[in-house]
Amino acid sequence: MKFAATLDETIDRIVPAGGATGTVLPCHRVDPELFFAESPADVEYAKALCLDCPIQQACLAGALERQEPWGVWGGQLFVQGVVVPRKRPRGRPRKHPLPEPVIDPRVAPAARTQPERSDRKERAA
């Protein structure tokens, strides 16, 4: 875990050893790489973990002071040293959004009641 050392060193600067919080910080309960994830969903999860953190404000202030190049710090996402509201998914955005799926209520219940393929094999045996 290449990010574990960076995250731990940063937190040790904010909260000295033996810490004043007396609790396990949210960033210590999960894989540190979550805070540097590529997936927008993982980034949002990392930001949510920071919401109840006792050192959230100090972590964010430290990241701003250090001009962190990237990652989630203090509940905010940094990209190229700037706080951004959300992470964009990889690739080009669609020219036209996908249409909402149309679910025919006459067909949907029947589709749900058909047995799974594995169930059909068990019944045939």
Residue ranges of the binding site for [4Fe-4S] cluster: 27, 50, 53, 59
Distance between CA atoms of residues 78 and 88, nearest Å:
12
CB atoms within 10 A of CB 78: 21
Which residues are documented as binding site?
27, 50, 53, 59
Distance between CA atoms of residues 107 and 60, nearest Å:
51
Q: Give the chain's radius of gyration (CA, Å).
A: 22
> For residue 1, what are its two tokens?
């875990």
